[in-house]
Chains A and B, each alone.
Chain A
Amino acid sequence: MNAQQILEYIKQHCTADDWTITINEKDSHETRFAQNSITQHIAGSNIEVALQVSFGDKTGVGNINQTDAESIKNLIETAETMAKLNQPDPEFMPSCPAADLPQVLNRSEATLQLAPQEMVELVRQSIANGEKHPAQVSGMTEKHRYYSILCTSNGFYGECESTEFGHSMTMKKDAVETKVAYSGKDYARFDLNQWLDQLNSQFNSLSAPHVFEPERIAVILRPAAVQEFIGYMGWMMSRRYADEGITPYTDKLGTDFFGSNFSMVSTLKDDELYASPYFHGGIPSVEFDWVKKGSLFTLPTDRFWAKKTGSSPSTSYNLFIPGDGVSEEEMMKKAGRGIIINNFWYIRTVDMKSGEFTGMTRDGVLYFEDGIIRHAINNLRWNEIPHEATRRILASGVPILTSPDTKVPAMLIADFNFVDKTDF
């Protein structure tokens, strides 16, 4: 059965009081390379049909990836049986009603038309570039097409088609190791030569690293590092967890909790950014200001907690951080002395209530003094509280797409707390 036939079958045969059907289709091609050779190469498609049902306030969910009538019949029986045997959910919310959805374009024809042969050619050129140094190159070229449908017994219907293209390259020779990565919905916006230039520039800047002892020092976080740093902080931003006293955001809504030159939003207005037209089972996406010039404006809130607190449901369907357009050279002059970080790695929570995280630098670290880059240095460990770090932002750059749903600028942050070093 195709997607519409599955919907019709479930509508006709489901006996539950309330239901939500989600159908997700995915078609992917992934070419993985390492040490100047393709090591894995994967293609295939899949479908997932999820049915959530309820009898009164007792719920059950079934997921399946087979689409014949017998399998869909079993799916209905499974979900309904689970619901009937479940206990009532005191936080039950009925499915969403019909809604007007925003128009978003998440589909790229260029990505859809990209042939496997062309993807292999991108890999070949990436390796050929590495061999000139000569260095070992590893990475992945991938393209995906996603299609999803959400339909509820209360009248909601939404669908979304999206595409994704990614190409990453890590180049390594002896102690020099660095990476660049593009990931977006549109292959047409990808220029391999531009990314090879950036990779070569980073690679050439990292020769002969000096030993650098950890200290509190100014950092320029390039956009990939900002995505990691702020992204992990974002995972903690839940209205419920704040209200229950578990995170740093307790009683902070409406206060100047972040630095005054820090804002972050989810937006439908940037055509480079992926944006789902709906969330939480059928709530139309709208513009969300999470932090507005330092003030904590909104926290992601699920439907039950929104009802309980008299607020509106919200979710971070993408992340955009505006910047001041300051160049890296100007940032170096402003700070005088500091380090430039290409990326972070293995960020993990240290303490939920204080909002403290730890992580390592990765893909190359540079030391600058008197406003100019002096030399590469070893990688460093940091322990930081990101929301406090935003109060030390001295400047920011132009927002850059770092993943299909994230666009952030480089940031100059004072007194970043490095606590340990590694020997490479």
Chain B
Amino acid sequence: MKYLDIAIETALAQGAGYADIRIQRDTSQVIYLLNRSIKYAVNDVEHGYGIRVFKGGAWGFAHCNRFDDRTVADTARRACEIAALSAKVKKGAGLTLAPERSYIATYKTPVAIDPFDISMREKVDLMLEVNRTMLNYDGIRQAVFYLIIHKCEKLFASTLGTRLDLTTQLVDPMITATAVWEGDSQSRTFDEGGRATGWEWIQALDLTDKAKQIAEEALIKVKADTLGEEQRRTLILDPNHLGLTMHESVGHPTELDRVLGWEADFAGISFATPEKLGNYQYGSPIVNFMGDNTLAEGLATNAFDDDGVPAQKWFIIKDGILKEYGSTRDTAPQIGLAHSRGCNRATSYYNMPINRIPNLYLQPGKEPLTPAEMIAATDDGVYIQGRGSFSIDQHRINFQFGGDFFWEIKDGKLVRPLKKVLYKSCNPEFWNACDAICDERFFRPFGVINCGKGQPGQTGRMTHGAAPARFRNIRVGGSQ
């Protein structure tokens, strides 16, 4: 496309040391069904380009939604002018970029049935059936179905000679049943956080059956007991729950821009500082975390990031020891890394890419172990399913999590459902308390589509995964 060349040629003519242009079209369809009322059924198309110029050790970024030769060139010139302004306030010689070579490539998320080809009627009929199923239960006061389908098409060119044509897609159904009973209300949600795949996943899920399950569990939950006083207990966490726990307590602390203090004003910094690389006992020896932007159906999976760096797979924590970060071309050189791990991603065309959590997962246990065997080997504990309340400090040390569904474990058995369970822990206590992980047969991926970060704010997407895991001696109790 000629606009790629215009932007690159203009930036080079203005003295850019490096420049890239990302022409991005995001197409979303969002349907929000509250009970039997379609509150929102929208088709959204956002199309524009962002031009990034690196000059004099500093960045400038300009974006626009108008496509003509002159406007593209003007936008490139504006990015150059902004970079020159940025260079007036820098440390020493300013930033440097990790070396990278040029690529010419195409990538598309594998999709068997494009969700955009499924008619609005078919989607709404399915959603209404799901909500009716939940509302048919006495005591279910509210049913919500939120469906997101999204396609992102990018054309990327850089002064390195890279030319990329990248298309990613995701689909994300979320359903919630809220039960009201004797002055309390409790909800139960089916939400796997979205997957980079097509409508075939929706067909395989049997959401009507899921609706029955969560409605029944919402009713169990609203009538369940609370746990009472906080005590040191054993926790067994399911993969969906662990997805959020690892996102907050491993994913964010190992973003290199946070480590460098680049997010100090808003999202926060990290306790996992560079002198800990290779020697810090982040978790017990069975804890292994992979960064993997090649993961099948992963929300961060793409052939390249927005720096034009290829997708990679690497250990972030190996045998419990902090090994490496997720990095970008401008963060990696700050700690002497030879290359970027390809974690620079922007949400929309008008966003400047930032250092993002890759697809990040806890490797399953190496010894055969089923969830039933894990529970049977637990005398006194709580089994938590799904995601609930979550909060962590800005250094990513102290955290408190809830969940979506809870069972008390006594003498190796699930003895009663619970509600309003919270646990408190911190790094490195929590991951060092992990003493068992089920094997690969029980590994499940779960997405995150709303990871808020940056100024101005962006919502990133990535996938996490785990098999059920056990944590000993954690502070667990009930809310007020």
Contact = CB atoms under 8 A, between A and B. Distances in A.
Interface string A82-115: 1001110111000000000000000000000000
Contacts of A85: 119-121, 124
Given A41-B59, A45-B64, A424 B395 contact: yes
A422 B397 contact: yes
Interface string A167-186: 01110100001010000000
Contact of A89 (B38, B142, B395, B424): B38
A353 B221 CA distance: 13
A61 B40 contact: yes
Contacts of A64: 44-46
B26 to A, nearest CB: 10
Interface residues of A, number: 86
Contacts of A38: 58-59, 86, 89-90
A139 to B, nearest CB: 5
A63 B28 CA distance: 10
B265 A60 contact: no
Given A37-B91, A40-B352, A422-B397, A65 B62 contact: no
Contact of A61 (B43, B47, B75, B141): B43
Nearest to A91: B37
B41 interface: yes
Contacts of B424: 381, 419-420
B391 interface: yes
A424 B397 contact: yes
A227 interface: no
A356 B184 CA distance: 13
Interface stretch (A117-125, A274-282, A406-414): A117-125
B394 to A, nearest CB: 5
A162 B41 CA distance: 28
A31 B59 CA distance: 10
Given A45-B64, A63-B43, A86 B88 contact: no
Interface string B85-100: 1101111001100000
Contacts of B150: none
A59 B184 CA distance: 34
A271 interface: no
Interface in A243-269: 244-247
A350 B422 contact: yes
A63 B45 contact: yes
B398 A81 contact: no
A298 B269 CA distance: 40
A245 B95 CA distance: 55
A170 B264 contact: yes
Nearest to A422: B398
Given A37-B90, A42-B456, A136 B264 contact: yes
B208 interface: no
Interface in A23-59: 28, 30-47, 50, 59
Contact of A346 (B45, B125, B142, B391): B391
B15 interface: no
29 contacts: A30-B456, A35-B260, A38-B86, A38-B89, A40-B354, A44-B62, A63-B42, A65-B46, A65-B47, A65-B65, A82-B43, A85-B120, A85-B121, A86-B120, A87-B125, A90-B37, A123-B89, A138-B265, A170-B265, A244-B142, A244-B178, A244-B180, A246-B141, A246-B178, A304-B37, A356-B480, A360-B391, A383-B400, A421-B398
Interface of A: 28, 30-47, 50, 59-66, 78-79, 81-82, 85-87, 89-91, 116-117, 120, 123-124, 127, 136, 138-140, 142, 168-170, 172, 177, 179, 244-247, 304, 345-354, 356, 358-360, 362, 379, 381, 383, 385, 417, 419-424
Interface of B: 36-48, 50, 58-65, 75, 78, 82-83, 85-86, 88-91, 94-95, 119-121, 124-125, 128, 141-142, 178, 180, 183-187, 260-266, 268-269, 350, 352, 354, 389-395, 397-398, 400, 402, 420, 422, 424, 426, 455-456, 479-480
